[in-house]
Structure 1
Amino acid sequence: MLPKKVWKWLHWASLLFGILLIVLGVVILSVAPHIIHEQIDEEAYLGRYPNGTYHKTVLKWISPKYEMFLQIWTFSVANAKQVMQFGDKPLVIEHGPYTFIEKQNKSWFQFIRNDTRILYRNDRTYFFSQKDSCKSCLLGDKVTVPNILFQKLVDILIDPSTSTITRFALETLIGVSSETAYITVNVSDLLFDGYKDPLVQKICGKPIISDICKKFGVPDRIGLFYGQNGTDDGVYEVNTGLEGIHSIGKVYSWNNMTGTLPKKYWYGDQARMINGSDGQLFTPNLSPSDQIQVFSGKICRSVCFEHNTDIELEGIPAYRFSPCTSMNDPLVQRTQGFCNPKSPVYFKNESVQPVGCAPISLMDVSSCMPSSPRIYISQPHFLDAPKEIHDAIQKLAPPTENDRMFVDIEPSSGAPIRANSVSQVNVGLLNGNLSFLKNMSNAIVPLLWLNETAMLDADTHDQLMTLVTAKRIYRIVSSLFLGFGVLLLLVFSIGIVANKYKTRNNEETDTLVENEQVQDPEEQAYGPIES
């Protein structure tokens, strides 16, 4: 058995060593994150080294190595004649995916304001990939879709400024055509090549009507991505993060429009604001309570994202952000100025389509599109939309959680590790009070849905794994220190209690012995007294 002095020394050593371990654990928890964040700050900004060469983050930003695909599913209306003649609900056949490999490149960029901001153009080029598409998917496939060009003629007909003579001439010319509200085109023409409508060409070629077609912006050719392959969506001005990493990616201007967009866009000042990031760079140290604003030139607005769930991708923990639920709130959208007060009525139920607004969960982007066609963006298969919107289309697949847009972000670095930009493009069809379309109801018909996917490359994955490993190591070490420290303090406490208990027992034993040794004074003097 160890001597009493040794036990006493070990007893106090457990106290001191326990306190030391706890202090070290707290210091590691406090200091290590700052060291990691400082390292991120030193490497994450867009800038140049003193010798003038570009920072490695810039090189990655110029030509992202992320794996990017654009997948497209088309909706072909199988009963177009019945829809126009008898007012049947559109019956759609979904086909896809038609898969395109996407390449992005900053074709031009320029540092300004002492390298604190950068102007750039981001080119996107798409290459059709047959092997990544469905086996029967060919760009020459025929699809019957809402005729956007025809709807421009409808705009002329329903406009109050159109004269009676012009309206009569238009209706007569349209009436003798066999192709009106719907048109059959190749998939390639629908997407990138664009298509011409013989009827529109014929009508807008008339001397009297040609000026009216120009006034209403009737294009000669139209396609969903017509003229966009190998091009950009404008010049962005963003923060480089040089003066503070928490501002990296912040958008200041787009196409020389600073702060806000002109009044031709949207219907309120807040809706026109250019705010948030550009969707390529996010601020570090995100928390689940954060909301993210992303400005997109494609739709001329900022989109709100909020935390949906926590995920792990290839060993990297991340937060998943999805569009904010407020984007489906018509009161919020009207207050912010995203509701078109002249929106056509497609659903008479105000719980489905509030007055002076698009149907719930649909985004009216007509003010952003060239020639202002009635284009509505939703999530695929009308996810989160009222049931009536989905049921207005026959054979449309039910929505699932796979139809939800999201971006997965590693929170410490702010690096996006996966993005699924899913959306559905819908066309608003009006009958224009045309006699031969009197049975066709105004409707919102899906044209296609797409999924633009980006996955982190191997190099970025390895860098993020280094960060994740460093975070795990300091958390494990600090937890061990804190755990052993608390254990030693517990041992010390137990020792204190045991020592007090032992001392108390010894005192009680000594008292008992003393009591047994104390006898009656008469017994001590004369011996035991006999009765």
Structure 2
Amino acid sequence: MSAIGPYAYDHKIGREVLKHGNGTLKYANYHIFTYNQNHSCDHCSLDHRVWIPNIVFQKFVEAASNPSMKAAQAALTSQTPFLEVSVRDMLFKGYKDPFLDKVCAIPFMNFICEAVLDLPDRIAFLGHINNTKSNAFEISTGENDDGESLGQIQTWNDESSVPEAWWSGEFATMLNGSDGSLFKPFIDKSSKLYIFVPDLCRSIHFTFDKEVIYKGINAYRFTVPPKLFDWNEPNNEAFCYNSGKEFFKENEECLPKGLIDISRCRKGEPPIVISLPNFLFADDQVKESVIGLNASSVDHDDIEMILEPACFI
């Protein structure tokens, strides 16, 4: 594997207020991503062709494991586990899988395409969040408790928790924290800052790292802790999803630390496992499984928030 990039995008968030009153604010976010060549690598181009895992192939592999799905087994012979697509199509525009169009046009294969795959017409890793409105957030304005609950999510998509089909356990399904755009002021260095991230299907937290100066302003740097995706941690046990697959060792119940399976909260349940950049904080067996991977670095690969300590924005 060879690393390319970075491909930088400007992310603008608009907000549509849906309802306000009784100490809550209900709104939806509107996301727009625009490619920024100046912050991308000199030789970067959205027309650059790259090889990526073939999601459709992986879905057919899953279907073919069912003895009653012999049609899916036969279809695999004309598929490949990797596809060559442009960066533009991979990220936001989306690509049409020629195999999918061809196979799904066959009458007896229709039921597999509709019932098993359930994938969009165009496949893009981030296409579902560009030029789209998010599910509605309802947050506390803090006016009823002197600001103590300011920004805390009350409901998302009109629900007070994420679906139980995503995770097991009360803590794992909770909507902890804010959406990341607003925190109560005067939080100290010992605080855990919780954020609910819909694209991760769960809440995550940040801890204080160090004091910094950002554009002349004294600020705090908060980062994702190393144990966030460590399934040996008590609060993380419910995020361990046993898919029945064995990637790294026999009879494994969880993926190695540093990886999280988010398949169940995606349309069509495509096989998607994510990590921090360059497998930061992941088991060595994960890092060693990919030849050509850049060495992970806390300075470059950790997710950070830089916040002014008084207003906490």
Aligned ranges 1:140-179 → 2 under 5 Å = 140-159=47-66, 162-163=67-68, 166-167=69-70, 169-175=71-77, 177=78, 179=79
Structure 1 residues 172-230: Cα deviation after superposition (integer angstroms, max 9, x where no partner): 3321x2x4100011111111111121222222222222112222233132111124211
SS in 2 for 1:264: coil
Aligned positions, number: 310
Aligned partner of 1:310 in structure 2 is: 211
1:256 and 2:158 matched: yes
SS in 2 for 1:324: coil
Aligned partner of 1:186 in structure 2 is: 86
How many Å separate the matches in 1 of 2:72 and 2:264? 25
- Asked if 1 retains the 8 angstrom alpha-carbon contact of 2:9 and 2:35, the reply is yes
- Asked if 2 retains the 8 angstrom alpha-carbon contact of 1:149 and 1:222, the reply is no
| Structure 1 residue 333 displacement after superposition | 6.1
Aligned ranges 1:244-393 → 2 under 5 Å = 244-258=146-160, 260-332=161-233, 336-348=237-249, 355-393=252-290
TM-score, length of structure 1 as denominator length:
0.56
1:97 and 2:24 matched: no
How many Å separate the matches in 1 of 2:294 and 2:103? 37
Q: CA RMSD in A?
A: 1.9
Aligned partner of 2:129 in structure 1 is: 228
| Structure 1 residue 305 displacement after superposition | 1.4
Aligned partner of 1:429 in structure 2 is: none
Task: Give 5+ residue unaligned stretches, structure 2.
Answer: none
Q: 1:252 to 1:292 in 2, by over 3 A?
A: same
| Structure 1 residue 99 displacement after superposition | 2.1
| Structure 1 residue 238 displacement after superposition | 0.5
Aligned partner of 2:43 in structure 1 is: 136
- Asked if 2 retains the 8 angstrom alpha-carbon contact of 1:103 and 1:125, the reply is yes
How many Å separate the matches in 1 of 2:163 and 2:280? 31
How many Å separate the matches in 1 of 2:74 and 2:236? 42
Which letter maps to 1:321? Answer: F
1:414 and 2:307 matched: no
| Structure 1 residue 103 displacement after superposition | 1.5
Between Structure 1 and Structure 2, whose CA radius of gyration is higher? Answer: 1
| Structure 1 residue 335 displacement after superposition | 5.5
SS in 2 for 1:109: strand
Aligned partner of 1:518 in structure 2 is: none
- Asked if 1 retains the 8 angstrom alpha-carbon contact of 2:96 and 2:123, the reply is yes
Q: 1:335 to 1:314 in 2, by over 3 A?
A: closer
- The alignment-based identity, stated in percent, is 32
Q: 1:273 to 1:343 in 2, by over 3 A?
A: farther
Aligned partner of 1:127 in structure 2 is: 34
Which letter maps to 2:303? Answer: M
- Asked if 2 retains the 8 angstrom alpha-carbon contact of 1:237 and 1:253, the reply is yes
How many Å separate the matches in 2 of 1:234 and 1:223? 19
Structure 1 residues 228-254: Cα deviation after superposition (integer angstroms, max 9, x where no partner): 211133100001122322211100110
Which letter maps to 2:256? Answer: P
How many Å separate the matches in 2 of 1:120 and 1:306? 27
* Bigger mean CA deviation after superposition, 210-219 or 192-201: 210-219
- Asked if 2 retains the 8 angstrom alpha-carbon contact of 1:254 and 1:297, the reply is no
Structure 1 runs of 4+ aligned residues shifted over 3 Å read 333-336
- Asked if 2 retains the 8 angstrom alpha-carbon contact of 1:192 and 1:229, the reply is yes
Structure with larger RCO (C-alpha < 8 A, sep 6+): 1
Aligned partner of 1:202 in structure 2 is: 102
Which letter maps to 1:256? Answer: D
How many Å separate the matches in 1 of 2:168 and 2:64? 24
Which letter maps to 1:101? Answer: D
How many Å separate the matches in 2 of 1:343 and 1:405? 30
How many Å separate the matches in 1 of 2:58 and 2:19? 41
SS in 2 for 1:171: helix
How many Å separate the matches in 1 of 2:104 and 2:177? 42
SS in 2 for 1:318: strand
Q: 1:173 to 1:364 in 2, by over 3 A?
A: closer
1:109 and 2:18 matched: yes
Which letter maps to 1:118? Answer: L
Which letter maps to 1:207? Answer: P
TM-score, length of structure 2 as denominator length:
0.92
